[in-house]
Amino acid sequence: DVKVTQSSRYLVKRTGEKVFLECVQDMDHENMFWYRQDPGLGLRLIYFSYDVKMKEKGDIPEGYSVSREKKERFSLILESASTNQTSMYLCASPGGQGAEYEQYFGPGTRLTVT
Amino acid sequence: AQSVTQPDIHITVSEGASLELRCNYSYGATPYLFWYVQSPGQGLQLLLKYFSGDTLVQGIKGFEAEFKRSQSSFNLRKPSVHWSDAAEYFCAVGARNAGNNRKLIWGLGTSLAVNP
Task: Give pLDDT, residue A100.
Answer: 79
- Chain A neighbours among B 11-50 (CB < 8 Å)? 32, 34, 42-46, 49
Contacts of B49 in chain A (CB under 8 A): 101-102
Which pLDDT band holds residue B97 (cuts at 50, 70, 90)?
Answer: confident
Q: Can you spell out the DSSP letters for A39-102? A: TTTEEEEEEEEEETTEEEE-S--TT-EEEEEETTEEEEEESS--GGG-EEEEEEEE-STT-SS-
Mean pLDDT in runs of 10 for chain A (114 residues)? Answer: 87 97 90 94 94 91 96 96 97 82 92 98
pLDDT (average), residues B20-28: 92
Using an 8 Å Cβ cutoff, are A100 and A30 in contact?
A: no
Task: Give pLDDT, residue B30.
Answer: 77
Task: Give pLDDT, residue A2.
Answer: 66
CA dihedral B54, A92, B93, B95 (to 10 degrees): -110
